Amino acid sequence: MKTKLLTLAAGLMTATALATVPAKADVKIGLIGGVSGPIAAMAPAMIDAAQLAVQQVNEQGGIGNGEKLVGVVGDSACNPQGGTDAATKAVNIEGVAGIVGPHCSGAVLAAAGSVTIPAGVALVTPSGTSPEITNLEDNDSVFRTVPSDDYQGRALARTLKDKGYGKVAVAYLNNDYGTGLANAFKTEYVDALGGEITQFAAHEEGKASYRSNLAELAKGGADTLVIFDYGDGTGLTILRQALENGFFEKFVGGDGMKSDAVINELGAENLANFVSSSPVGEKSDSLDIFNEAFKGVGGDPDAIFANTSYDAAFLLALALEKTGGKKEGVGAALREVSNGEGEAIRPGEWQKAKELIAAGTAIDYKGAAGDHNFDAKGDVPGTFALFEVGADGFEVVSEMN
């Protein structure tokens, strides 16, 4: 009996000693995307690119003292309510220390205003492009790795004028994305460049037919229809019905229309007169590194917003390394790791970054999509290109100034 008691006591002492050693906790980040809804075809590549950054972090030492970085996927369905619900779950149930996403502007605005700003959780969207995001009173907690549509709309307007487009009609989805992009385009095309927009009309999502809308848009003699919508949703329906009924000769889309769904559904042979604008990564060693790494895990580096999604996740991980995995101070840390000063860190160089941060050495992330030197509002500049549909999918026609 005495021997048994001694054995039990020794076991209890060992268990107590083990209990005093803190278990390593996962550091969670939310990956909130439009898994369902109008950009469902775009979302998988974006989430996979963010998960590549997570994988590289864990393969090269994790966060802090070996804590694992975990990407918790949520679905915003690309709408405000979905964004709020997904962010609420990520913050209040999963306990994330930061969020990559949401993917769509309306979801960003709703999630930030209702959830992440009050909770003090930093949010980095790789594709929320509405100019309204710039105006959020966010306590320095909302950032993006993609330029505002204020830039894209103006760049597209200048490009169309340079290429000799004349009268255009504009159809835009009545949400934060469509409205912001359309207004930026209109301001530049008409007010700054003296171009003519014959019809400028919003439409609602999800109707079976837009033929009456198209008939109105065709009034005024424009031969070109500019569509600011999503190529996985209503934008595809409008483009299909415009082609079927011969309402316009030429078609132009924003980045939301640069979707493989457009080609798959309508056929490349029917899209010879369709072009679309989109942000693109600046040519750099960093972009080459990302492209090879993403191809190495089966990803398509040409997928829209893949590089900005990777950069958002890698930047957030760098900031969390500086804060020790805590949500507090992530906004300031994001600025510190990407401000044009310090030792250059390129995609995948996690171990190098980790060692430099531990030594107190300043670092500067050189991203796949650009340098991401955030301005006072958390915005970044960017580059754009105009794409056409070729034999192998979307191909660059020209850069956009």
Q: Which helix (H) or strand (E) holds 348?
A: none
Residue 254, pLDDT score: 97
Q: Is the pLDDT of residue 376 over 50?
A: yes
Write out the two tokens for 367: 């991203």
- Count, residues in the chain: 401
- How do residues 236-287 score in pLDDT, each as one tens digit? 999 999 999 999 999 999 999 999 999 999 999 999 999 999 998 788 999 9
70: β partners: 28
Q: What is the mean pLDDT of residues 16-27?
A: 59
Work out the pLDDT band at 24, boundaries 50, 70, 90: low
Which of 199, 244, 245 lies closest to 226 in space, CA to CA?
199
Helix axes 43-59, 306-323, angle to 10 degrees: 40
Q: What is the mean pLDDT of residues 197-219?
A: 97
Asked if 59 contacts 19 with a C-beta cutoff of 8 angstroms, the reply is no
Residue 381, pLDDT score: 87
What percentage of the chain carries pLDDT values higher than 90?
91
- Give the largest CA-CA distance in the chain: 101
Work out the pLDDT band at 16, boundaries 50, 70, 90: very low
Class in CATH terms, 27-148+283-365: alpha beta
HSE, side-chain direction, 13 A CA sphere, residue 219: 8
Residue 23, pLDDT score: 55
Which of 376, 378, 336 lies closest to 356 in space, CA to CA?
336
Work out the pLDDT band at 383, boundaries 50, 70, 90: confident
Query: Phi and psi dihedrals of 366, rounded to 5?
Result: -105, 100
Which of 342, 394, 367, 373 lies closest to 50 in space, CA to CA?
367
Q: Is the pLDDT of residue 77 over 90?
A: yes
User: Could you give the CA distance from residue 222 to residue 219 in angstroms, rounded to a whole number?
Assistant: 8
Which of 210, 276, 198 lies closest to 243 in space, CA to CA?
210
Opening angle at CA 251, ends 249 and 253, nearest 5: 175
Q: In the chain, which residues fall in CATH 3.40.50.2300?
A: 27-148+283-365, 150-278+383-400
Which of 365, 308, 259, 284 lies closest to 52 in space, CA to CA?
308
The CATH number fitting domain 150-278+383-400, selected from 3.40.50.2300, 3.30.70.120, 3.40.50.280, 3.40.630.30? 3.40.50.2300
- How do residues 143-197 score in pLDDT, each as one tens digit? 999 999 999 999 999 999 999 999 999 999 999 999 999 999 999 999 999 999 9
Work out the pLDDT band at 14, boundaries 50, 70, 90: very low
Distances in Å between the Cα of 214 and the Cα atoms of 123, 231, 236 are: 38, 17, 13
User: Could you give the CA distance from residue 329 to residue 321 in angstroms, rounded to a whole number?
Assistant: 11
Q: What is the mean pLDDT of residues 213-225?
A: 97
pTM of the model: 0.89
